Structure 1
Amino acid sequence: MEIRRISHVEAVKAAGHLFDTSPRQEATERFLADERHHLLIGYVDDVPAGMVTGVEMTHPDKGTEMFLYELGVDESFRGRGLGRALVSALADLARERGCYGVWTITGEDNAAALATYRRAGGVPEEEQVVLVWTFDQP
C-alpha cells in the first residue's frame, strides 16, 4: 500500500467511491486550494482503496490541532490495516505541521471506526457532547 497526499481534482474524482457521495467539483477545488485542508489516499496496486481528510484548526489560546474529518475504506480492502495506516499518516502530517493533537467524532455504535481509531492511538474524551446546526444545502 502507498499513501499519497492529494492536490489534484482528478485524483479525487478517481477515488470518488471512497466518499459518502460523489465529490462536488467546486467543493473539491476549494478544499484542495486551502493549505490547511489535507486529503490522503491509500492505494493498493494503484487502486484507490481508502482515504482520510483532515482540517487544521487554530484557536488563539490553544494553537493548532488537526480535525480528522472523514475516513473511508473501500469495503473490499477493509480489515487489512489500511484505515489505521491512513489515520497514522494524518497524525504524522499533523505533527510535521506543528499541530498539538488530532481529534475526531464518530457514532458510539460505529464499532469499526472506534476500533480503527483506538488501534491508531486514539482515546475517547470523557464526558463530551456533540451539538450540531444543520443548514439546507443550496
Structure 2
Amino acid sequence: MEIRRATTVAEVTAAGHLFDGPARPEWARRFLDTPGHHLFLAYEEGADVPVGFISGVETIHPDKGVEMFLYELAVAEEHRGRGTGRALIQALAALAEERGCYGMWVGVDTDNDPALAAYRSAGARDEGEFSSLNWSFR
C-alpha cells in the first residue's frame, strides 16, 4: 500500500470512481490550488489507479486556532477491510499535526459502521450524538 498526496488534476480525476460523482477538472484544480486543502490517494503496490482517497480542509477560528476537517474518505469496496482507510486517516492526521493543527474532526452518520470502524481504528473517539443541519444553494 502506498499513500501519496495528490498534486495534479490528472491524479484527482483518475480517482473519480471513488467520488460520489465524476471529478470536474476545474473544481479539482481549484481544490488543489487552495491553501489548506489536502487530498491523499492510496494505491496498491505497482498500480496506477487509486483504491482509496481522503480529503481534508484546514479550518481556522480566531479563538481556537487551526483544526483539520476530515472532509471525505472512500475506499473501493473490493479493497475494504485491509487497513487502507486507517492508513489514509493516519496520513491526514500526521499532516494535520505537522501543520500545527490542534485536532482533527469528522462528521459521520451513526449507522455507517464501516466508516465508524475505520475512524475508531485510527484513534478517533466518539463524542456522542451529532446533528448535521444543511443549507442548499443549488
TM bin (shorter chain):
over 0.9
**Counterpart for residue 21 of structure 1:** 21
Q: Deviations over 1:4-63 (max 9, x none)?
A: 011100001111111111011211111000120000001103231100000000000000
Q: CA deviation at 1:128?
A: 3.6
Alpha-carbon distance between aligned partners in 2 of 1:56 and 1:19, rounded to the nearest angstrom: 20
Query: Which structure 2 residues correspond to residues 87-106 of structure 1 after superposition, within 5 A?
Result: 87-106=89-108
**Counterpart for residue 57 of structure 2:** 55
Alpha-carbon distance between aligned partners in 2 of 1:127 and 1:60, rounded to the nearest angstrom: 26
**Counterpart for residue 121 of structure 2:** 119
**Counterpart for residue 65 of structure 1:** 67
Runs of at least 5 residues in structure 1 that lack an aligned partner in the other structure: none
Q: CA deviation at 1:130?
A: 1.9
Residue 75 of structure 2 aligns to which amino acid in structure 1? V
Identity, in percent, stands at 57
Q: Decide which moves more: 96-105 or 45-54.
A: 45-54
Alpha-carbon distance between aligned partners in 1 of 2:75 and 2:5, rounded to the nearest angstrom: 16
Runs of at least 5 residues in structure 2 that lack an aligned partner in the other structure: none
Q: Which runs of 4+ in 1 moved over 6 A?
A: none
**Counterpart for residue 85 of structure 1:** 87
Residue 78 of structure 2 aligns to which amino acid in structure 1? S
TM-score normalised by length of structure 1:
0.95
**Counterpart for residue 5 of structure 1:** 5
TM-score normalised by length of structure 2:
0.95
Q: Decide which moves more: 91-100 or 17-26.
A: 17-26
Alpha-carbon distance between aligned partners in 1 of 2:19 and 2:4, rounded to the nearest angstrom: 16
Alpha-carbon distance between aligned partners in 1 of 2:72 and 2:101, rounded to the nearest angstrom: 18
Q: CA deviation at 1:127?
A: 4.6
SS in 1 for 2:50: strand
Alpha-carbon distance between aligned partners in 1 of 2:42 and 2:129, rounded to the nearest angstrom: 33
